Amino acid sequence: MSIVRPGASEADRFTVGSHTFNSRLLVGTGKYRDFEQTRLAIEASGAEIVTVAIRRTNIGQNADEPNLLDYLPPDKYTILPNTAGCHTAKDAVRTCRLARELLDGWNLVKLEVLSEHKTLYPDVVETLNAAEVLVRDGFEVMVYTSDDPIVARQLEAIGCKAVMPLGAPIGSGLGLQNPYNIAMILEELTVPVLVDAGVGTASEAAVAMELGCDGVLMNTAIALAEDPIMMARAMRLAVESGRLAYLAGRMPRRAHASASSPMDNLVGRRPG
Amino acid sequence: MSIVRPGASEADRFTVGSHTFNSRLLVGTGKYRDFEQTRLAIEASGAEIVTVAIRRTNIGQNADEPNLLDYLPPDKYTILPNTAGCHTAKDAVRTCRLARELLDGWNLVKLEVLSEHKTLYPDVVETLNAAEVLVRDGFEVMVYTSDDPIVARQLEAIGCKAVMPLGAPIGSGLGLQNPYNIAMILEELTVPVLVDAGVGTASEAAVAMELGCDGVLMNTAIALAEDPIMMARAMRLAVESGRLAYLAGRMPRRAHASASSPMDNLVGRRPG
Amino acid sequence: MSIVRPGASEADRFTVGSHTFNSRLLVGTGKYRDFEQTRLAIEASGAEIVTVAIRRTNIGQNADEPNLLDYLPPDKYTILPNTAGCHTAKDAVRTCRLARELLDGWNLVKLEVLSEHKTLYPDVVETLNAAEVLVRDGFEVMVYTSDDPIVARQLEAIGCKAVMPLGAPIGSGLGLQNPYNIAMILEELTVPVLVDAGVGTASEAAVAMELGCDGVLMNTAIALAEDPIMMARAMRLAVESGRLAYLAGRMPRRAHASASSPMDNLVGRRPG
Amino acid sequence: MSIVRPGASEADRFTVGSHTFNSRLLVGTGKYRDFEQTRLAIEASGAEIVTVAIRRTNIGQNADEPNLLDYLPPDKYTILPNTAGCHTAKDAVRTCRLARELLDGWNLVKLEVLSEHKTLYPDVVETLNAAEVLVRDGFEVMVYTSDDPIVARQLEAIGCKAVMPLGAPIGSGLGLQNPYNIAMILEELTVPVLVDAGVGTASEAAVAMELGCDGVLMNTAIALAEDPIMMARAMRLAVESGRLAYLAGRMPRRAHASASSPMDNLVGRRPG
């Protein structure tokens, strides 16, 4: 595979479906102290896409309560409605349609159909079913899924605009548990691949980008840091840093300081 | 241990001996195509401290050859002379004294006494011996060493101003091989601790900073990247990112999406 | 969770469906030099269950060719027919029925429905479909699957008698890529869980058993070792060793030699 | 490097100095409930070499107290006196001489000069000094040291008969923290190399042997297991298993199920 580096005068843009962005860090809005802290952290993150759980967040459904959109003006941020809280394809489809109404026909959505398991892992069968209906229904679907490369290919084949494998359970902060599978997904898909869930600290976001991911989506790692706003800045730099390192092309690993032999020969075998 | 976060109006400065810096990324000057590429990469890295192998680099010893200092003006950069190429305490001491002469009494030096082994690991006995002489001789010594916490404490006890354990062999790009030892060193030393050698890509620099290191020194990871200048930018952001993440205080790791149990209980045991 | 250790006089048996075994190492028959080497390696492995690809191995379909069963007499080994080479539920079901005929009504089978992807990962949707048909049809199904804990639960709910998540791609020898997912599967399933595929050397088989797995299935790690028969002995000991270590209950990990603090506190944070 | 496999009729013996053994598992005697449990666990481990802390264990110094040697008859076990509890070269040398007296001129000893640090890491400078005196004094020295390959070479050059790098702090059970350094030590030394300290469970002992180590020494992993005798059996099998796997020559790792490409090419890079 070869890599296309943007020339000095070009920006390194990120395109999903019919939309183009500068930032490759996508963020959620849960678990903050209040909407004001949410606003400040998201501002510090540099994110342009902010995902919102339609079932849990007031973006206008309840006229009498504080509306998140008053803190995240749509002219500054792209609101990405998600289906958190849905456990069946049917619920997820219904929630996406509700979001489209609330957001005046906006059709870029993040599909997630979670199992009720403590891992909050996706139910891939229900996810595939929901994706099929939504694509047919004209949505541009970014889809949260397991790191199974076969399921990822099936979601691309259905017509999803971005595939978002988990790095580890939502909210766990355990970091990428299986970089091998993420690499397998990257080797074959042509739509953008973003790691969604599992990142706990800055270096882990950089690792995802260095693998070649197109972006990273996170929420808890920022919201539950001791200082969320400072962590949001850290994550912004980490994603940029990992992206640049990927584009720059890292040095080869060497087993010895001066040798040119690759690491595979590291462990010499010797007579017993 | 508690952490002191700089207030909004304070900078997060890095002090070694009698000197204070803003950047926590230190860089070398070897392996670049030419002095011009060296200059551009160092500029992109944001480094303020540039280490120079006195035995291999012309900083005025040879009046007829290109002088690195013409590319790295001392008013912009702190030149940190190092003893690369010295394999005995005696050689290293002599080289530091030569550097002090060439640099008009400048006494901040980087001591490294390498074994002649292919790992280019330090000879810790010779290093301890050289450190003792240099400290007595009025040098402010930053010292390259193995990741042995006991040796690190001995070097601090001698009076070294910064201790710089290796992450992996010089020029190997293998990343931190033993974060445990780095953490043990950080737990006890009060002088700055910097990872010197072994970093291969941006995320690895961030990992070192997230452990609590005061800085990272590198050369090959930038110089031998396919695009050294882009990688220098990546490394600058990675060090800043890791530092911010450390100061921000990462979220706790959780074994499950929703559980509060720590990872140590991850692997339940069950009847056979 | 508590663990039930067999008393001194009891054996530590392994039961799947209506069958009980002493050995927890299951082996395949592919990639050997010839049937004689197959026989010797399997004998050295101590395996009682030998899995055979019905579509690729002659167990009587071709009367004129060498028959594997002449080398692995059914009174000594339990032949476990598998559906390797099947890429759809329909093919897999048909293959299992053929095996039942060839083996006089034997109904313990290993279901695998592989994608045509280079990872040879299973197609979980087709696998779920096939499992449903086979269980209804009276088979005792041991099922090869991804390490997705949600899919594993669904396969148990369907009625599979054992769930066999992959450790890494078949034939890769990469070792367990995601111990977290294996642990999640073990936490919830009550049927036996065996790691199937990915083990490359002895210690990796021991790791799977120490996690609490009920067994390990492998082929390439033995067949493609430089000395397959010696490696078969190594694997036999590794599985026994890992099982004993699991039952014995390992010592707690400690961050320091003398401290009682857990590893989570390993990395102290300190003022910058 | 090439490997010499013992022929079918030869045993795979382990020689240190002038002594030859069958077992490659060496054990300590600390932390057991009583001498009877010590005896049973050591019997189950199959160990032939049992190391005893001369300063902490009664092997005849105190005529009125229980004598460990009554439980471990010297005709069955080789007692390896060690210098645990010594923090200077001088103390260690004196302790070895005392042991030689108590054991009628026996001169195979295990040298350890620990720092007083909580890691119980060795003080390598004192260790080198003590080794020099002991070798001159006619001892056959097996020496506990850090995993620094340079120090390991210096200990061999002094004349030590076996070099025993730590895997992790004594009693920590953290497993091999730096396999790279162990591999570097193995690449160059010709005397036996044994991992001493750090192993917590069976698979970790197997890993050390698979790297090519000549043996493993442990104590806590057996003594503090929930069932020490069962764990001793596990460790015996693990060391044998790892040794066999090393001799058998493991299969090559492959990035994909069917591909022949090495893992270094795993992570393809692709256009952003």
**Cβ–Cβ pairs < 8 A, chains C and D:** 192
pLDDT of residue A260: 35
Closest by alpha carbon to D196, among D111, D138, D117, D115?
Answer: D111
- Neighbour-count burial of C136, counting CB atoms closer than 10 A to its CB (0-12 exposed, 13-18 middle, 19+ buried): exposed
Residue B269 to chain A, least CA–CA distance (Å): 18
pLDDT of residue C4: 60
pLDDT of residue A258: 47
Which chains form contacts with chain D, at 3 or more CB pairs under 8 Å? A, B, C
pLDDT tier at C100, thresholds 50, 70, 90: very high
Cα C168 to Cα C155: distance, rounded to the nearest angstrom: 19
pLDDT of residue A28: 95
In chain D, which residues have their Cβ closer than 8 Å to the Cβ of B180? 168, 174, 177
**One-letter amino acid of D269:** R
pLDDT of residue D17: 94
Cα B8 to Cα D94: distance, rounded to the nearest angstrom: 59
In what helix (H) or strand (E) does residue B222 lie, and over which residues does it extend?
helix B220-223
> Any residues with CB less than 8 A from the CB of A195 and at least 6 apart, and which?
A164, A165, A166, A167, A176, A182, A208, A213, A215, A216, A217
User: Pick from B234, B247, B251: which is nearest to A244 by CB?
Assistant: B234
pLDDT of residue B227: 97
Residue B117 has pLDDT above 90, yes or no: no
Residue range B78-100: mean pLDDT, rounded: 96
The yes-or-no answer on residue D76 being catalytic is no
Cα A234 to Cα A45: distance, rounded to the nearest angstrom: 8
pLDDT tier at A252, thresholds 50, 70, 90: very high
Residue B272 has pLDDT above 60, yes or no: no
**Which of A113, A126, A148 is the best mutation test for C, with the most CBs of C within 10 A?**
A148
**Cβ–Cβ pairs < 8 A, chains B and C:** 78
A40 Cβ under 8 Å from any chain B Cβ: no
Q: Could you tell me which residue, B116 or A127, shows the higher pLDDT?
A: A127
Range among A146-155, B28-37, B253-262 with highest mean pLDDT value: A146-155
Residue A68 has pLDDT above 80, yes or no: yes
Residue C129 has pLDDT above 70, yes or no: yes
Residue D257 to chain B, least CA–CA distance (Å): 26
Angle between helices A228-248 and A202-210 (to 10 degrees): 20
Q: Inspect the interface and report whether the beta carbons of B149 and D180 lie closer than 8 Å.
A: no
Residue range D70-99: mean pLDDT, rounded: 93
Residue C205 has pLDDT above 70, yes or no: yes
Which chains form contacts with chain A, at 3 or more CB pairs under 8 Å? B, C, D
- CA of C170: which chain D residue's CA is closest? D257
Residue reference for tokens 């010590």 = D38
Please report the ipTM that was assigned to this predicted complex.
0.92
Percent share of chain C, pLDDT over 90 = 76
pLDDT tier at A59, thresholds 50, 70, 90: confident
User: Pick from C174, C206, C251: which is nearest to D253 by CB?
Assistant: C174
Range among A208-222, C48-62, C250-264 with highest mean pLDDT value: A208-222
For residues D152 and D189, is the Cβ–Cβ distance under 8 A? yes
Task: Concatenate the DSSP letters of all residues of D148-161 into one string.
Answer: -HHHHHHHHHHT-S
Q: Inspect the interface and report whether the beta carbons of C263 and B262 lie closer than 8 Å.
A: no
The 10s digit of each residue's pLDDT in D149-160 is: 999 999 999 999
Residue D220 has pLDDT above 70, yes or no: yes
A244 Cβ under 8 Å from any chain C Cβ: no
Residue B10 has pLDDT above 90, yes or no: no
- CA of B182: which chain C residue's CA is closest? C267
For residues A268 and D183, is the Cβ–Cβ distance under 8 A? yes
Residue A167 has pLDDT above 60, yes or no: yes
Residue B3 has pLDDT above 90, yes or no: no
Residue C7 has pLDDT above 80, yes or no: no
D112 Cβ under 8 Å from any chain B Cβ: no
Residue D175 has pLDDT above 80, yes or no: yes
Helix (H, G, I), strand (E, B) or coil at B81: strand
Least confident interval from B157-171, C115-129, D6-20, D129-143: D6-20
Signed CA dihedral, B220, A178, C200, C210: sign only: positive
Cα C41 to Cα D33: distance, rounded to the nearest angstrom: 42
Residue range B234-242: mean pLDDT, rounded: 98
Q: Which of residues 137-166 of A touch C (CB under 8 A)?
A: 146, 148-151, 153-154
- pTM for the model stands at 0.93
pLDDT of residue D60: 82
B198 is in an annotated binding site: yes
Residue C248 to chain A, least CA–CA distance (Å): 28
Q: What is the mean pLDDT of chain C?
A: 90
In chain C, which residues have their Cβ closer than 8 Å to the Cβ of D171? 254, 257-258
Residue C267 has pLDDT above 70, yes or no: no
Q: Inspect the interface and report whether the beta carbons of C269 and B2 lie closer than 8 Å.
A: yes
* Cα D32 to Cα D17, D40, D169, D224, D233, distances in angstroms: 30, 10, 19, 7, 16
Cα A235 to Cα B23: distance, rounded to the nearest angstrom: 19
Q: Inspect the interface and report whether the beta carbons of D272 and A243 lie closer than 8 Å.
A: yes
Residue A239 to chain B, least CA–CA distance (Å): 9
Q: Inspect the interface and report whether the beta carbons of C264 and B253 lie closer than 8 Å.
A: yes
In chain C, which residues have their Cβ closer than 8 Å to the Cβ of B212? 267-270
pLDDT of residue B257: 62
pLDDT of residue C271: 42
Residue range B170-182: mean pLDDT, rounded: 94
Q: Which residues pair with D50 in a beta bridge?
A: D27, D79
> Any residues with CB less than 8 A from the CB of B67 and at least 6 apart, and which?
B58, B59, B60
Within 10 angstroms of residue A4's Cβ, the number of other Cβ atoms is 11
Residue range B76-103: mean pLDDT, rounded: 95
Q: Could you tell me which residue, A158 or D56, shows the higher pLDDT?
A: A158
User: Pick from C201, C235, C237: which is nearest to D210 by CB?
Assistant: C201
Catalytic residue among A31, A90, A110, A118: A110
Residue range D71-88: mean pLDDT, rounded: 92
Q: Could you tell me which residue, A71 or C11, shows the higher pLDDT?
A: A71
The 10s digit of each residue's pLDDT in C107-119 is: 999 999 999 877 7
The 10s digit of each residue's pLDDT in B181-229 is: 999 999 999 999 999 989 999 999 999 999 999 999 999 999 999 999 9
Cα B271 to Cα C113: distance, rounded to the nearest angstrom: 30
Residue C78 has pLDDT above 60, yes or no: yes
The 10s digit of each residue's pLDDT in C29-71 is: 999 999 999 999 999 999 999 999 999 888 888 888 888 888 8
Q: Could you tell me which residue, D11 or A185, shows the higher pLDDT?
A: A185
Which chains form contacts with chain C, at 3 or more CB pairs under 8 Å? A, B, D
Residue D259 has pLDDT above 50, yes or no: no
Least confident interval from A255-259, C192-196, C228-232, D121-125: A255-259
pLDDT tier at A270, thresholds 50, 70, 90: very low
A168 Cβ under 8 Å from any chain C Cβ: yes
In chain D, which residues have their Cβ closer than 8 Å to the Cβ of A271? 2-4
Residue A187 has pLDDT above 70, yes or no: yes
The 10s digit of each residue's pLDDT in B20-53 is: 999 999 999 999 999 999 999 999 999 999 999 9
pLDDT of residue A10: 65
**Which of B244, B260, B267 is the best mutation test for A, with the most CBs of A within 10 A?**
B244
In chain B, which residues have their Cβ closer than 8 Å to the Cβ of D168? 180
Task: Specify the DSSP class assigned to residue C262.
Answer: -
Q: Inspect the interface and report whether the beta carbons of B253 and A173 lie closer than 8 Å.
A: yes
In what helix (H) or strand (E) does residue A44 lie, and over which residues does it extend?
helix A35-45
- The Cβ-side half-sphere exposure at A198, using a 13 Å CA radius, reads 29
Cα B146 to Cα D147: distance, rounded to the nearest angstrom: 10
pLDDT of residue D10: 65
Least confident interval from B6-15, C203-212, D70-79: B6-15
- CA of A212: which chain D residue's CA is closest? D269
A129 Cβ under 8 Å from any chain C Cβ: no
Residue A239 to chain D, least CA–CA distance (Å): 14
